[in-house]
Amino acid sequence: MNNIDKSEQFNLDNIRKQVSEIRTRGAEEARSERPAGEINAYALQIAEQFREGNQTPAIIIGQYRLFEFLSLLAVGLAILFFGMTTDGHPFLSKAVVTVALSGLAIVFLQVADAYQIPILRAPQRFLQRILGPWAAAFIVMTLALLPFDVNNIYSFRLLGIWFATGAVFLLVARLVFAYGIRHWARNGVMERRAVIVGGGEPAKELIRALEHQIDNDIRICGIFDDRGEKRSPVMVAGYPKLGTVSELVEFARLTRIDMLIIALPISAEERILQLLKMLWVLPVDIRLAAHANKLRFRPRAYSHVGAVPMLDIFNKPIRDWDGVAKRIFDVLFSVLALTLLWPIMLGAAIAVKTTSKGPVFFMQKRHGFNNEIIKVLKFRSMYTHMSDPTARNAVTKNDPRVTPVGRFIRKTSIDELPQLFNVLLGNLSLVGPRPHAVLAASHNRTYSDVVEGYFARHRVKPGVTGWAQINGWRGEIDSDDKIKFRTAYDLYYIENWSLAFDLKILFLTPFRLLNTENAY
C-alpha cells in the first residue's frame, strides 16, 4: 500500500472486522429486516420500472463465449468434413483435434481479456487481442501434433483454411455483438442496476465518475439518504433522492437491484457500519465507493466499474452462472425425484382424500427469495375445518388438528413432497433455507423479532430441504433458541454454498429424516 494514513487504515481494518462479525453473529441492533412500511409514491413508481429481472453482463458474455466455441467448432468440423481426403486417420481423431483447438482458442481469448466489456464494445480497436489468441491456439496445437506427424492427422491446407475462416468469423461476429451490446445497454437489457446510498457532493462526484466511463454498464435507479435537504439535496446530478435508508430496504425488495454503492468516505466508519447493519440482509452486492478516497491500495483490493474503484463489502450470494448451475441442478434432481417418488405421492394423496374430508393439497403463504410472498404446496395433514393457513399456531405433539394420516406424513416429511412442483415452477430450490409461514411466531413474537438479521436467510431462494434440517433443526419451534439456531445454520449455508454442498445435503436428507423427534 502507498500513501496510507495510519488512522484511515485503522478505520478500514475496523470496518472489515466488524463486517465479519455481522456475517457470523447477525446484524446487532439492526431493525431493517422488518418491513419499513409503504415507500413514497414516487419511489414506488420508480420501483415498478425495475420490478422485472434483467440479464447481467456476466450471463450475456458467458452465453457469447459458449456461442463462439460452438461456432468455431462447427466451422472446423464443416471444413474437415468437406475437405477431408482419404488417409490413415479416421474422422473421429480429426474431430477430437478440432474440439481441442476450439476449446484452446476460447481459453486463450479469455486469458487475453478478449471477453471484457470494452473489447466487446469496440473489437476493431483490439484486433491483436482477438486474432492473437486465435493464432496462438493454432501454433500450440500444431506443436503438440508434431510428434504424431501433424500433416497426416490434420493437413496444413485444412488448418490454413480453418484459420482464415475462423478469423473472419471472429471479427464479423464480434462486430455484430458490439452493436448488440450498445443496443442492449440503451434498452436496459444488459445492465447492472445500482442504488447510491448517501447524497450530497460525494454522490455527485461518484455519478459523474460513472458517467464518464465509456463502458459503463451501471444503471443508477436513485439515491437514498437519511440526511435533510441542506446536506443532501433532493436532486443530485440529475438523479432524485427517493427516500431514507429504511425505505431503501423496502424499495430493494420491490425491485431487481444488483448493487448498492455507499458514497461515503472510509473515515465515516460509524455511519458506514450503521448502514451495513441495515442493508446486509438484502440479496445484492454492497460496495463502498473509493474513487474520492486518498487511500491507495494494491489493485487486487478493488473491484472496478470501468476505472472507478470500489471496495467490496458484501457480495450477492449464488450469482450469475452459479445461479444458472443451481437452477439446472434443481430441475434435474426434481425430475429424478418425481420419477422415483410418484408411487409414494400417489399413495399419500389417496390416503389423505379417503380418510378425511377436504382437498388433497394445502397451499400456504410463506416468505420466499428477497422476502417475497410465495405459495407453497403440501399434502393436507389437518382436518379442513381446523386448518391454519397462517401457521400462527404451530403444530405441537398430539395436536388434535392433525389427522392420523397427517401425523404420519408429517413425521416422515411426505407432506412436503408436492413442493417438488414448486421447485419446477421456480419459486423454491431443492436445497436452501426452509421457507417459514408469513405469520409464524415463537411465543407470540414473529421470528424477525426473535432473531436479529432473520431476513438475511432470504438472500437466496428457500429450499425443500436445508442444512438446518439435516442437522436436527426441524419440526416445532417452541423456544427462541430453536429459531436462532435454525437461522444460524441457514446463514452458514448461504455463506458457504456450492453445488457439492447442495449434493451433500440432498444425499443426507433421507437418512436424517429417520430422526422424527421434533416432527409432529
Which domain range does residue 293 map to?
6-27+36-54+191-316
Cell of 91: 474422422
In a domain, 1, yes or no: no
In the block, residue with C-alpha cell 492473437: 132
Mean pLDDT of 386-415: 79
Q: If you average pLDDT over each of 267-271, 341-345, 442-446, which comes out highest?
A: 341-345
In a domain, 424, yes or no: yes
In a domain, 518, yes or no: no
Together in a domain, 342 and 477: yes
Question: Which of the pair, 202 or 492, is modelled with greater confidence?
Answer: 492
Q: Taking a C-beta distance cutoff of 8 angstroms, is the pair 205, 237 a contact?
A: no
Together in a domain, 482 and 334: yes
Together in a domain, 420 and 338: yes
Together in a domain, 397 and 248: no
CA-to-CA distance for 244 and 198, rounded, in angstroms?
Answer: 9
In a domain, 414, yes or no: yes
Q: Taking a C-beta distance cutoff of 8 angstroms, is the pair 135, 166 a contact?
A: no
In a domain, 205, yes or no: yes
Angle at 169 between CA 156 and CA 152, to 5 degrees: 15
CA-to-CA distance for 440 and 516, rounded, in angstroms?
Answer: 21
The string over 460-497, giving b where at least 16 C-beta atoms fall within 10 Å of a residue's C-beta and e elsewhere, is bbbbbbbbbbbeebbbebeeeebbbbbbbbbbebbeeb
Together in a domain, 469 and 411: yes
pLDDT digit string, tens, across residues 451-502: 877 888 889 999 999 998 888 877 666 677 888 888 899 999 999 999 999 9
Cell of 249: 430496504
* CATH number of the domain that residue 310 is part of: 3.40.50.20
For the beta carbon of residue 233, count every other beta carbon within 10 angstroms. 18
Q: Taking a C-beta distance cutoff of 8 angstroms, is the pair 72, 166 a contact?
A: yes
In a domain, 519, yes or no: no
Together in a domain, 305 and 326: no
Together in a domain, 262 and 126: no
pLDDT digit string, tens, across residues 307-338: 778 888 888 898 888 888 999 999 999 999 99
Q: Measuring CA to CA, which residue among 434, 461, 421 is closest to residue 338? A: 421
Would you say residue 295 has pLDDT above 50?
A: yes
For the beta carbon of residue 251, count every other beta carbon within 10 angstroms. 25
Q: Taking a C-beta distance cutoff of 8 angstroms, is the pair 364, 482 a contact?
A: no
CA-to-CA distance for 252 and 44, rounded, in angstroms?
Answer: 11
Together in a domain, 498 and 351: yes
CA-to-CA distance for 444 and 439, rounded, in angstroms?
Answer: 10
Q: Taking a C-beta distance cutoff of 8 angstroms, is the pair 260, 282 a contact?
A: yes
The predicted structure's pLDDT at residue 269? 77
CA-to-CA distance for 166 and 268, rounded, in angstroms?
Answer: 54
The predicted structure's pLDDT at residue 135? 93
Together in a domain, 205 and 333: no
Together in a domain, 471 and 332: yes
pTM for this entry: 0.76
Cell of 478: 417452541
Secondary structure string (H, E, C) spanning 258-285: CEEEECCCCCCHHHHHHHHHHHCCCCCE
The predicted structure's pLDDT at residue 469? 87
Q: Measuring CA to CA, which residue among 282, 219, 284 is closest to residue 258? A: 284
Interhelix angle 41-49/245-254, rounded to 10 degrees, is 40
Together in a domain, 122 and 251: no
Together in a domain, 73 and 114: yes
Interhelix angle 320-355/404-411, rounded to 10 degrees, is 150
Mean pLDDT of 297-315: 71
**Count of the separate structural domains present in the chain:** 3
Given pLDDT bands bounded at 50, 70 and 90, which one contains residue 30? very low
pLDDT digit string, tens, across residues 117-168: 888 888 888 889 999 999 999 898 888 877 766 556 667 777 888 899 999 9
Given pLDDT bands bounded at 50, 70 and 90, which one contains residue 10? very low
Would you say residue 85 has pLDDT above 70?
A: no
Q: Which of 146, 168, 187 is the last residue of a domain?
A: 187
Mean pLDDT of 358-364: 89
